Amino acid sequence: MEKGIENLMSARKCLRANFEKSKALGLSIEKAGPRFDEIIQRLPALEAAIRPIRAQKDALGAVGGHINRAVVPATAVLKVFDAIHGLEKSLSDPQSDLPGYLGVLKRLEEALRFLGENCEMAIQWLADIVEYLEDHAVADDRFTSSMKEALTSLRELHSGEEKGRLDGGLLEVALDRLESEFRRLLVENTIPLPMSDPALPGEQACIAPSPLPVMVIQKLQAIIGRLIANNRLDKCISIYVEVRSSNVRTSLQALNLDYLEISVSEFNDVQSIEGHIAQWGKHLEFAVKHLFEAEYKLCNDVFERIGLDVWMSCFAKIAAQAGILAFLQFGKMVTESKKDPIKLLKLLDIFASLNKLRLDFNRLFGGTACLEIQNLTRDLIKSVIEGASEIFWELLVQVELQRQMPPPPDGSVPKLIIFITDYCNKLLGDDYKSILTQVLIIERSWKQEKFQERLLINELLNIMKAVDVNLETWSKAYQDVILSYVFLMNNHWHLYKHLKGTKLGGLMGDSRLKEHEQYKEYYSAFFLKESWGKLPALLSREGLILFSGGRATARDLVKKRLKAFNEAFDEMYKKQTNWVMLDKDLRDKTCQSIIQAIVPVYRSYMQNYGPLVEQEGNGKYVKYTAQSLEKVLNSLFHPKPVKHGSFKVRHPSGKFSNVITDQNQTSPTVK
């Protein structure tokens, strides 16, 4: 019995223990539920992770070699990337340490070059791994798909437009800073200095911009070298041209070159811009010999290591942008203006300026880069030579055409005579003869003709012969023959006085000049004889000597003769008071001749017979005293101030206009 109880107690104890275990197990199972859910969720990943374990043994064995081959270049690339980013702080300011900056930049370029050479290899090896894993099902599909997308992006970055961004854009930023430093060095060391106007007399033309210091040039060259290595030469040249051309323009502003902007429509003839043409030659010479010469040398200094074509192209752009084209275009505009004799002198001035700078132009602008400047210069010279030659060879025709015009109504010297004598002497002077000869030689050579200096001399002598013919023609146009004598006196004396001792007078010869003087004396004598010389005869003493007819008869004769003298004198004076003798010597001598012919006779007559009529207090017969008569005669032939017009004559071809001032207008007094 006791044994049964013991068994029962033992069973009860066992059941209780099992119950407790079951209860504990239930609790454990209840707690394990969420963990099972987590395990279920992780199963796909675990499956993917253990898939290589389930792959074939030979596939698993081969994948290790592929991975090792790819890891080496990939690791090297990653190390270079790390090194590149380590250089970033050293590429912040080229101004403080340009050599150090350039050294770091060069290391960056080398690092990027390494990336360019090795990144492709790393990409290819990684692609091989992905392909192997995919083909042999060694890795999960999602993993291989993600790797393929990453490799595709990496390939596009490496081979596309963003290839230079493998460094995250660090090189581009560093080069931009280097370009900024290039500009800063130029701007801070390119300073236009104050200049005086070389066209002003007595002032020394000031200097061109000072050349850059040697240290600055060396820095610029170092920067250029790095920019060239990164295909940024064009931008570098653009900066240089912008800064230096702006500096030249600023330097030229002190010379007041506004006249270069004048258009053909803004002036009527060359005379209106004559002063500008004189300035033009001096300003062009200054610009070429100082400013452009300095830029030429500086371009060579800065860009000499690159090559002739590069720095010549750079200089050509500076010259064009700084204003050389405006100088040439102004000259061309002068050649396109209306033709007149004054224009010939101005064209010769332009040719002289260009010829003086010929060697400088050939040296500075002779390269192929300066083709536009060469073409404009060539066109300008051609227009100058053709225009000057055409005007010169038409001068004789223009003088002959003046014959159809009426002579001056006051008997003075026509403007043509004054102009042509002075003009021909200018053409023969030291300033123009050699230039004109050179122009005509070139013009004839273009026509395959030979020029001889005698052609120039003969043409000028023919012009003076035409002037003589003009004088004869004009003198015959006067209805009053006495006025024609005054006209011929005036002109022959003018030619004699203004040609004697001149180049043109020397060509004409002493005998021909002497003829002009003799003609003046000849016509002076005729003038006096046919005009004032007739008045003394009116004061005849016939019938008065013995008073044979009585005192009353004598008085009547004196009255009659004085009245006739006064009327003739007044009529003569009234007619001749509007006549002009420009030359003071000729005028004084002529007046004295008239006075000597009349006043002594009048004085003597009045002394002897004046008392017979002096009681006539109204001055009816005694109108003049000897002194007042002399004063009146001395007032003759003085020029009257008038407005000067211009006469336009047209060549039959219609080419000439505004040729010579109208000879009908009285000229200023010539002394």
Give pairs for 40-48: CB < 8 Å, separation 24+. Answer: 48/139, 48/140, 48/142, 48/143
Going from N- to C-terminal start, the domains of the chain cover 1-53, 57-159, 171-193+211-397, 533-641
CB 208 within 8 A of CB 247: no
Say whether 533-641 and 171-193+211-397 share the same fold: yes
The verdict on domain 533-641 having CATH code 1.10.10.60 is no
Range name among 106-110, 182-186, 329-333 with the lowest pLDDT average:
106-110
CB 594 within 8 A of CB 618: no
Contacts of 620 (CB under 8 A, 6+ apart): 563
What's the CA gap between 84 and 166, in Å, rounded? 10
Q: Is the dihedral of CA 392, 396, 401, 404 positive or negative?
A: positive
CA 247 to mean position of chain CA atoms: 15
The candidate with the shortest Cα–Cα distance to 630, out of 588, 669, 661, is 588
Which single residue is written with the structure tokens 């100088």?
A: 327
Q: For 409-436, what is the mean pLDDT?
A: 94
What's the CA gap between 525 and 520, in Å, rounded? 9
Q: What pLDDT, on the 0 to 100 scale, is given for residue 154?
A: 56
Q: For 570-592, what is the mean pLDDT?
A: 94
What is the chain's mean pLDDT, rounded?
79
Q: Where are the alpha helices (DSSP H) in 204-273?
A: 214-229, 233-253
Q: What pLDDT, on the 0 to 100 scale, is given for residue 95?
A: 76
Q: What is the pLDDT of residues 354-382, one digit of tens each?
A: 999 999 999 999 989 999 999 999 999 99
Q: Is a pLDDT exceeding 70 seen at residue 657?
A: no
Q: Say if residue 484 is exposed, middle or buried (CB neighbours under 10 Å; 0-12, 13-18, 19+).
A: buried
What's the CA gap between 463 and 356, in Å, rounded? 30
CB 383 within 8 A of CB 333: no
Query: Higher pLDDT residue, 396 or 608?
Result: 396
Q: 151-155, 215-219, 304-308 — which one is most confidently predicted on average?
A: 215-219
Q: Is a pLDDT exceeding 50 seen at residue 603?
A: yes
Phi/psi of residue 647, each to 5°? -110, 130
Q: What is the pLDDT of residues 140-153, one digit of tens each?
A: 556 566 555 655 65
Q: Please state whether 448 falls in left (phi above 0), alpha (psi between -120 and 50) or beta.
A: left
The rounded percent of the chain whose pLDDT value lies above 90 is 48
What is the CB-side half-sphere exposure of residue 170 using CA atoms within 13 A?
A: 23
Q: What is the pLDDT of residues 53-107, one digit of tens each?
A: 445 555 445 555 555 554 555 555 444 444 444 454 545 578 777 887 777 767 7
Q: What pLDDT, on the 0 to 100 scale, is given for residue 631?
A: 94
Domain range 171-193+211-397, its CATH number among 1.20.1280.170, 3.20.20.60, 3.20.20.70, 3.40.605.10: 1.20.1280.170
Q: What pLDDT, on the 0 to 100 scale, is given for residue 442?
A: 93
Q: What pLDDT, on the 0 to 100 scale, is given for residue 450?
A: 82
Q: Say if residue 214 is exposed, middle or buried (CB neighbours under 10 Å; 0-12, 13-18, 19+).
A: exposed
Q: What is the pLDDT of residues 522-571, one digit of tens each?
A: 999 999 999 999 999 998 887 676 555 567 777 888 889 899 999 999 99
Q: Is a pLDDT exceeding 90 seen at residue 454?
A: no
Q: What pLDDT, on the 0 to 100 scale, is given for residue 359?
A: 95
Confidence of residue 10 (pLDDT cuts 50, 70, 90): low
Q: What is the pLDDT of residues 224-269, one digit of tens each?
A: 998 998 889 999 999 999 999 999 998 888 888 888 888 777 766 6
Q: Is a pLDDT exceeding 80 seen at residue 353?
A: yes
Query: Higher pLDDT residue, 544 or 416?
Result: 416
Q: What class does CATH assign to 57-159?
A: mainly alpha
The candidate with the shortest Cα–Cα distance to 223, out of 190, 189, 181, is 181
Give pairs for 62-65: CB < 8 Å, separation 24+. Answer: 62/132, 63/129, 63/132, 63/133, 63/136, 63/138
Report the amino acid identity of residue 63: V
Q: What is the pTM of this model?
A: 0.74
Q: What is the pLDDT of residues 94-126, one digit of tens each?
A: 877 788 777 776 776 666 666 655 555 555 545
Q: For 646-661, what is the mean pLDDT?
A: 43
Q: 36-40, 49-53, 320-324 — which one is most confidently predicted on average?
A: 320-324
What's the CA gap between 115 and 120, in Å, rounded? 8
Q: Is a pLDDT exceeding 50 seen at residue 161?
A: no
